[in-house]
Structure 1
Amino acid sequence: MHRWMDLDQVPPGFGPSVVTIGNFDGVHRGHRSVLTQMVADARAVGAAAVAVTFHPHPLQVHHPERAPELLTGVADRLGLLAATGLDGVLLQEYTLDFARQTPEEFVRRYLVDGLGARTVVVGRDVRFGWRNSGDLRTMTELGERFGFTVEVLDDAGAGGDGGRRWSSTWVRELLGRGDVAGAAQILGRPHAVRGVVVHGDARGRDLGYPTANLGPGITGMVPADGVYAGWMRRVDLPQELADGILPAAVSIGTNPTFDGRGRRVEAYVLDRDDLDLYDEEVVLYLVERLRPTVRFDSVTGLVEQMGRDVDRARELLRRGPGVPGVV
């Protein structure tokens, strides 16, 4: 899949293409249903399938106080988009200058001249251009003027809960409650966070459970405090290697037993104390929440509970979902 970070990187004369536009945060099952259908339609007419997406999220530019916590960082969003079969993704930097374009300017420059769009796939509630002044009717009128058709696809995807529409908002609600298993039903995969392993206070090693602590700059929404069963993927190692993806128990919280303050994400690789993960980039796939974070009256009580957590995580991962991306 071609990954363009600016319109100028798109080859001159690119096209014809089928193009869609969106934030695609989380690339959940609703997104993928639209994208896979779009890819199939593009293949049928000999066109390239392209998605236009944005970074940062538009609300982070216009109303940062209302901006959502993003489910996926850029690297993971691009990887998930590539998995749908897209031929290209234009990751457009979203700035105030970009936002000041009229609907016509955006369509002409990006979709028509830049990507050679012959079909533009949008949702019924599409909004674009300065102050979101463009809508479905605007896009249809511009299509008639510039020679592309507009296809409206619905990503509603009744996912249960009274037929509620699959959405990034719903995933955020579930993660905010620590319900990573529920979030996985909408995402179609375990939710993941990504970060670089840094030195911590070595308390886990002293307790018999050495942990890999993720440093600042974690991408992917960090769910509610608690202990989770999951998998650790070491980004720089091939996944098929024995140590490429490892079972883990993940702790998220402030370590209240030790009067901790800063919120941490740390992972203990089950039954391993021989790994040197410092400065490695890792991805943690969170499969199920084992329990909330609690304060223990003694270190002994904490260690005993950690042993139970590890036993439960080991059993759950043994009989539960396969390793993400491998089986």
Structure 2
Amino acid sequence: MLIWKSLAEVPADLRRTVVTLGNFDGVHRGHRQVLRRVVELAREQDALAVAVTFTPHPRAVHRPEVPHEDIVSTEQRLLLLEEAGIDAVLLQRYSLEFARQGPEEFVRGMFVDGLRACAVVVGHDVRFGQDNAGDFTAMVALGERHGFEVEAVDEFPALEGATPERRCSSTWIREALAAGDVAQAAAVLGRNHVLAGEVVHGFARGRELGFPTANLAADVAGMVPADGVYAGWLHDADGAAHPAAISIGSNPTFEGVSRVVEAHVIDRPEERVEDFDLYGQHVDVEFVERLRGMVAYEGVEKLVAQMRDDVDRARAILGAAPRPS
């Protein structure tokens, strides 16, 4: 997949494109319906399938005082767009200056002169240009004026619990993750939520208690769910998936202060216990189901008993689920 970080990087001899526009945070089920149609139309018209997206998230630029957490990192988002079949991504740097473009200036510069779009595929609720002044009707009119087709796709597929007021959206996913409801987040995403990061040395408390863990570095990629214990999978650098009990929190039993993501691989093969060294590896941690919230226990014995129960429950949950390929 081609990645352009500005219109200046787009080749002058670029062939025609079919373009879509959005933040694509999470690249959830609704996003993928739009992307699927972009790819289909591009193949029909012998054109490139192109997604225009932004960094940082526009909300972080317009309202910097309000905390904002992306569901996936930029690297994860690009990988998901590639998996959806997109040929090229324009990763546009978003700024207040960029946002001051009027709807026609934006469309002419981006779609017409920049990307040579023969078609633009968007959701019905698309907004663009300064103060979000442009809408779907405006996009259609601009397409007629500048020679490209405009197609709308219903980007909010049917989902249990989804209504016109509660549709598939990145906001819903963030709310679910903030509440620790990784199963609901997965329903909207269309896949399990994943964090990515490097395994680093921790305090080794888990190892001392008989539950060694892979601790992720603080700069983990992806939105970290609420504190608690989860059943999930750890994908190592070789791509192997290992069942895991995942803990997120500050280790309240030991009066910890730093929030940590750590995964205990369940039932490691005895012959590999000694050489199962993940330090320095970049791994993915995939969440399946929340087991419980984070609790401070009175004494190590009660904590160990709870950890054994967590592992047993995680084993049962993951044993009933298909192992990731």
The TM-score, its normalising length taken from structure 1, stands at 0.92
* Among candidates 236, 241, 247, match of residue 243 of structure 2: 247
Instruction: Say whether residues 1:136 and 2:132 are aligned partners.
Output: no
Q: CA deviation at 1:148?
A: 0.8
What is the alpha-carbon distance in structure 1 between the residues aligned to residue 138 and residue 250 of structure 2?
Answer: 50
Q: Using the alignment, how far apart are the partners of 1:186 and 1:115 within structure 2?
A: 31
Q: Are the counterparts in 2 of residues 57 and 67 from structure 1 also a CA contact under 8 Å?
A: no
Backbone CA RMSD of aligned residues: 1.6
CA distance in 1 between partners of 2:140 and 2:68 (Å): 30
Counterpart CA distance in 1 for 2:234 and 2:112 is 42
| Equivalent in the alignment of 1:175 | 177
Task: Report the secondary structure of 1:3's partner residue.
Answer: strand
In the TM superposition, residue 55 of structure 1 has moved relative to its aligned partner by 1.0
Aligned amino acid, residue 173 of structure 1: E
Match of 1:263 in 2: 259
Within a 5 Å distance, the mapping from 1:215-226 to structure 2 comes to 215-226=217-228
Q: 2:189 is matched with which residue: 184, 187, 190?
A: 187
Distance in 2 between the 1:79 and 1:266 partners?
Answer: 24
Query: Is 1:71–2:71 an aligned residue pair?
Result: yes
Q: Secondary structure at the match of 1:92?
A: strand
Q: Which amino acid aligns with 2:15?
A: G
Distance change in 2, residues 1:162/1:195 (3 Å) = closer
Answer yes or no: is the 8 Å Cα contact 2:162–2:168 preserved in 1.
Answer: no
Q: Corresponding residue for 1:106?
A: 106
Inter-CA distance 224–321: structure 2 relative to 1 (3 Å threshold)? farther
**Cα deviation digits, residues 267-316 of structure 1 (max 9, x gap):** 11123443222222211100111111111111011111111211221222
Q: Which amino acid aligns with 1:205?
A: R
Q: Which residue of 1 aligns with 2:51?
A: 51
Q: Deviations over 1:61-99 (max 9, x none)?
A: 110233532111111111111111111111111122322
- Structure 2: which amino acid aligns with 1:21? L
Unaligned runs of 5+ in 1: none
Q: Following TM superposition, by how much is the alpha carbon of 1:166 offset from its aligned partner in structure 2, in angstroms?
A: 0.9
Residue type of the partner of 1:277? Answer: L
Summarize deviations over 1:190-225 as a string: whole Å, max 9, x none. 111112222211111111111111122122111111
- Give yes or no for contact 1:250–1:267 (8 Å, CA) kept in 2: yes
What's the counterpart of residue 213 of structure 1? Answer: 215
* Identity within the alignment, %: 56
1:167-201 deviation line (CA, Å, top 9, x unaligned): 11111121122111121111111111112222211
**Number of paired residues?**
318
Which moved further from structure 2: 119-128 or 269-278? 269-278
Decide whether the 8 Å contact of 1:246 with 1:269 is kept in 2: yes
Query: Matches of residues 20-31 of structure 1 in structure 2 within 5 Å?
Result: 20-31=20-31
CA deviations on 1:147-168 (whole Å, 9 max, x unpaired) are 1121121112121115331111
Give structure 2 stretches of 5+ with no counterpart. none
* AA at the equivalent of 2:252: P
Report if aligned partners of 2:124, 2:152 keep a CA contact under 8 Å in 1.
yes
TM, length-normalised to structure 2? 0.93
